[in-house]
Amino acid sequence: MPAKEVFGSHWFVLVRVVLPQVFDMSKQNEGSSRTAIIVMGGVAPDAGLTAALDRNDVIVITADSGAVYARAAGLSIDIAVGDFDSIPPLLLEELESAGVRVERHPVAKDATDLELAIEVAIREGADVVTVVGGHGGRVDQSFANAFVIASPAYKHISMHAILDSALVSVVHGGGGVTFLGAPGDVVTLLPLHGDAIGVRTEGLEYPLRGETLTAGTTRGVSNILLDREATVSLESGTVLVVRPGPEVVVNGNGEFE
């Protein structure tokens, strides 16, 4: 077995481990999918992410100041979205000169830059969307990011994220998610937009067998991964599957140790 490598950055884990192996069970037999990566401001991508995204089948979209971080990391941006109130005007000119599609919105608007970017991803045909970044020191923005990715309006796509330092997957009623991790990893299930009904888990220390997670309660907090794989599904409602961000150890094959 190859020697262990330690990657403190969750960007590597997201692209090399989470994206290929986390899937929406309701989409398993629907053929090929198109993936969009949305880069928000707040966290600079590392070399692992840059290398993994150097592929033609991934749409790279930036939300406002996410363009700064993506450009600094050498990512090939396809579409830049936002009001651009927090990036240098010169960068916008450089992006446009490089052939990046720039979609400007007014500062006074009814949606965050992330929500606008998700709408663009869907318009471009993405049915797998992964959001990265978002640690800007504002708790209201963190809450807003979590709520928008879990919107019932997006239940037809497979939605994943790194919000601050947590790996997040969204599960809507009638669907599910299977993910890899390391034994002992913390896994939290948070119901949003109402009760989550008929929740079932496999591979977690405290199993749920068709039970209800009531909105506003904390029963789903701090479950534990028993082995390397777990599954969460539900009949109706919406659940955020959250894995907080301790340092992650993966081997040379991109697998958790």
Q: Which residues contact 55 (CB under 8 A, 6 or more apart)?
A: none
pLDDT above 80 (res 47): no
User: Is 131 within the bounds of a domain?
Assistant: yes
In this model, does residue 7 exceed pLDDT 70?
no
Domain contains 255: no
- Are residues 121 and 192 located together in one domain of the fold? no
The pLDDT score that the predictor gives to residue 142 is 84
Domain match, 137 and 198 both: no
What are the structure tokens assigned to 187, written together?
A: 């896994």
> Which domain, by its residues, includes 188?
166-246
Strand partners, 5: 250
Residue 141, in any domain of the structure = yes
Claim to verify: residue 232 and residue 177 sit in the same structural domain: yes
Q: Examine residue 257 and state whether it is found in any structural domain, yes or no.
A: no
Q: 120 or 28: which carries more pLDDT confidence?
A: 120
Tokens, residue 184: 């002992």
d(CA 160, CA 205): 23
> Does 38 lie in the same domain as 140?
yes
Q: Are residues 160 and 171 part of one domain?
A: no
- The answer to whether the beta carbons of residues 244 and 165 sit under 8 Å apart is yes
Specify if 199 maps to a domain.
yes
- For the chain, count helices (H), then strands (E): 7, 16
Using pLDDT thresholds of 50, 70 and 90, give the confidence band for residue 150: very high
The domain boundary residue, chosen from 164, 188, 203: 164
In a domain, 3, yes or no: no
63 and 160 housed in the same domain: yes
Q: Is residue 218 over pLDDT 60?
A: yes
Instruction: Tell whether 19 is covered by a domain.
Output: yes
Mean pLDDT value of segment 158-172:
85
Question: What is the rounded average pLDDT for all residues in the chain?
Answer: 80
Q: Could you tell me if 37 and 109 lie in one domain?
A: yes
Same domain for 123 and 202, yes or no, is no
**pLDDT, position 49:** 55
Does residue 99 share a domain with residue 205?
Answer: no
pLDDT grade, residue 11 (50/70/90)? Answer: very low
Shared domain check, 14 and 130? yes
Lowest pLDDT segment from 37-51, 59-73, 215-229: 37-51
Percent pLDDT > 70 in the chain is 75
Determine contact, residues 138/41, Cβ cutoff 8 Å: no
CA separation (Å) from 6 to 13, 45, 48, 117? 11, 16, 12, 32
Q: Is residue 63 part of a domain?
A: yes
pTM listed for this prediction: 0.81
C-alpha–C-alpha distance, residues 91 and 93, integer Å: 5
Contacts of 143 by beta carbon, 8 Å cutoff, 6+ apart: none
Q: How far is CA 220 from CA 2, 159, 210, 232, 242, in A?
A: 36, 20, 13, 12, 10
Average pLDDT over residues 125-150: 85
What local confidence, expressed as pLDDT, does residue 166 receive?
A: 80
Q: What is the CATH number of the domain that holds 202?
A: 3.40.50.10240
Last residue of some domain: 113, 141, 164?
A: 164
Same domain assignment for residues 205 and 127: no
Q: Which residue has the higher pLDDT, 141 or 255?
A: 141
pLDDT at 44: 60
What's the domain count of the chain? 2
Binned at pLDDT 50, 70 and 90, residue 50 comes out as low
Region 79-105 average pLDDT: 90
Given a contact cutoff of 8 angstroms between Cβ atoms, the answer to whether 61 and 121 are in contact is: yes
Mean pLDDT computed over 6-16: 39
CB-based contacts of 185: which residues, under 8 Å, 6+ apart? 224, 225, 243, 246
The residue ranking higher by pLDDT, 37 or 213, is 213
Contact 80, 95 (CB under 8 A): yes
**How would you write 33-51 as a 3-class SS string?**
CCEEEEECCCCCCCHHHHH
pLDDT bin (cut points 50, 70, 90) of residue 141 is: confident
pLDDT confidence band for 183 (50 / 70 / 90): very high
Among the candidates 143, 164, 185, a domain finishes at 164
Name the CA dihedral angle for 226, 250, 26, 57, rounded to a multiple of 10 degrees. 180
CB burial string 204-232: b at 16+ within 10 A, e below = beeebeebbbeeeeeebeebebbeeebbb
Same-domain status, 87 and 67? yes
